[in-house]
């Protein structure tokens, strides 16, 4: 029913933009994001749109709208697929209910870090697998590519310290994607909430602990105001990927030079998001420490236990779906090659100065 409604709306929203391409070669598109306007992800989506407009000499203008302005955070995929909007800025882990392999292109527990993701996407077949998933397996009228890659997330914001699995007992923990299933399998009570609902949920005790993103993003959402502890390392999401979803019919109607500009702007934003998040997250951690927030680290044995649980979970899913198995094998093979290469080529890091 909802998809049919989207299709009907798309007849009036999408057709005009497609006709406009051939008429004047000036394109005005709309992008829906899964983020509140205050979040850095949304602001980086706006920066991407500004870059496209500048690079195209004003021929392509993208109107970026936050979560809730057109559709909700978890409805962006359908809005792009149906043509209500031409673009979406989101996180593919939200689509786990559509296909179990979707989170591979968002974040993999205990696996890919940001440089690994970038190399795998652009030069080891990752983007091709991603588009096969959306177009062939999920049947979507969508072209997809990365538009942001970030460093590890904060493991938890809470008012009790979390160092072991036992510390989770009795807590309601907000997370999403595979990590939600993995923790449920270990007995943790898990809930899923969009970004805009996390601060009030922590403040009112609707959830006892939450993870959302990197320290930079978490600082913009002010989680430190309503919790006492912040916990690392970000084993659940050692890297994060923002996706740029484009309605495929609109994409194919776009002039070739504008398609090249969009692709170049997306690649540039991947690098910029990575570098900016590193600097801003280091600053955020220093801010939390100086503000009296207590830093907690999950103990090594618990990390190892969660890694084993994560890989066992993914191995089991691979027995149930051939495409999932194909992507998981690609990820593991690239990860193994990268780690072996890095161990040989990267020198031992010096200890931080006192």
* CATH, residue 92: 3.40.190.170
Q: Is 248 annotated as a binding-site member?
A: no
pLDDT in the model for residue 227? 95
> Does one domain contain both 130 and 98?
yes
Residues of the domain holding 134: 2-148+240-279
Task: Answer for the pair 113, 238: CB distance below 8 angstroms, yes or no.
Answer: yes
pLDDT in the model for residue 4? 47
pLDDT in the model for residue 22? 44
pLDDT in the model for residue 128? 99
pLDDT in the model for residue 110? 94
pLDDT in the model for residue 3? 52
CATH of the domain at 308: 3.40.190.10
pLDDT in the model for residue 318? 98
pTM for this one?
A: 0.87
pLDDT in the model for residue 349? 84
> Does one domain contain both 82 and 10?
yes
Cα–Cα distance for residue pair 334/328, rounded to 1 Å: 10
pLDDT in the model for residue 351? 86
Q: Is 212 annotated as a binding-site member?
A: yes
> Does one domain contain both 130 and 265?
yes
Q: Is 263 annotated as a binding-site member?
A: no
Alpha helices in the chain (DSSP H): 2-24, 40-55, 76-82, 114-123, 126-132, 177-185, 198-204, 215-220, 248-253, 256-290, 300-318, 322-345
List the structure tokens of 97. Answer: 């209910």
Q: Residue 336 falls within a domain, yes or no? A: no
Q: Residue 91 falls within a domain, yes or no? A: yes
pLDDT in the model for residue 24? 52
Q: Residue 286 falls within a domain, yes or no? A: no
Q: Residue 326 falls within a domain, yes or no? A: no
Q: Residue 346 falls within a domain, yes or no? A: no
Domain termination residue (choose one: 250, 279, 308): 279
pLDDT in the model for residue 350? 86
> In this structure, how many other beta carbons lie within 10 angstroms of the beta carbon of residue 310?
22
Q: Is 211 annotated as a binding-site member?
A: yes
> Does one domain contain both 114 and 57?
yes
> Does one domain contain both 137 and 213?
no
Summarised one tens digit per residue, pLDDT across range 308-330 is 999 999 999 999 999 999 999 99
Number of structural domains in the chain = 2
Q: Is 320 annotated as a binding-site member?
A: no
Cα–Cα distance for residue pair 202/210, rounded to 1 Å: 8
* Low-confidence residues of the chain: pLDDT under 70: 1-24
Q: Residue 137 falls within a domain, yes or no? A: yes
Summarised one tens digit per residue, pLDDT across range 269-298 is 999 999 999 999 999 999 999 999 999 999
């Amino acid at each position: 029913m909802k998809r049919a409604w989207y299709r009907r709306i798309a007849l009036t929203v999408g057709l005009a933009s497609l006709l406009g391409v051939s008429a004047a070669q000036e394109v005005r598109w709309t992008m829906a994001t899964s983020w509140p306007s205050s979040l850095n992800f949304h602001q980086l989506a706006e920066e991407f749109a500004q870059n496209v407009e500048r690079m195209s000499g004003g021929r392509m203008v993208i109107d970026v709208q936050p979560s809730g302005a057109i559709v909700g955070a978890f409805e962006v995929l359908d809005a792009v697929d149906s043509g209500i909007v031409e673009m979406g800025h989101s996180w593919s882990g939200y689509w786990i209910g559509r296909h179990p392999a979707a989170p591979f292109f968002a974040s993999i527990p205990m696996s890919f870090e940001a440089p690994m993701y970038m190399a795998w996407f652009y030069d080891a077949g990752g983007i091709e697998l991603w588009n096969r998933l959306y177009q062939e397996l999920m049947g979507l009228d969508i072209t997809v590519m990365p538009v942001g890659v970030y460093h590890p997330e904060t493991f938890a914001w809470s008012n009790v310290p979390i160092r072991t699995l036992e510390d989770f007992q009795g807590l309601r923990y907000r997370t999403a994607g595979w990590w939600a299933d993995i923790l449920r399998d270990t007995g943790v009570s898990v809930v899923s909430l969009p970004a805009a609902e996390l601060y009030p949920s922590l403040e009112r005790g609707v959830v006892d602990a939450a993870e959302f993103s990197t320290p930079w993003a978490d600082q913009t959402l002010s989680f430190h105001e309503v919790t006492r502890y912040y916990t690392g390392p970000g084993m659940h999401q050692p890297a994060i990927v923002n996706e740029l979803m484009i309605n495929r019919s609109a994409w194919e109607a776009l002039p070739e030079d504008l398609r090249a500009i969009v692709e170049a702007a997306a690649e540039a934003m991947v690098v910029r998001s990575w570098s900016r998040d590193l600097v801003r997250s280091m600053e955020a951690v220093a801010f939390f420490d100086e503000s009296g927030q207590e830093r907690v680290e999950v103990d090594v044995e618990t990390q190892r236990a969660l890694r084993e649980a994560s890989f066992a979970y993914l191995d089991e899913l691979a027995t149930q779906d051939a495409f999932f198995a194909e992507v998981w094998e690609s990820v593991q093979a690239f990860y193994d090659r990268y780690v072996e290469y890095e161990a040989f080529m990267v020198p031992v890091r010096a200890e931080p100065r006192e």
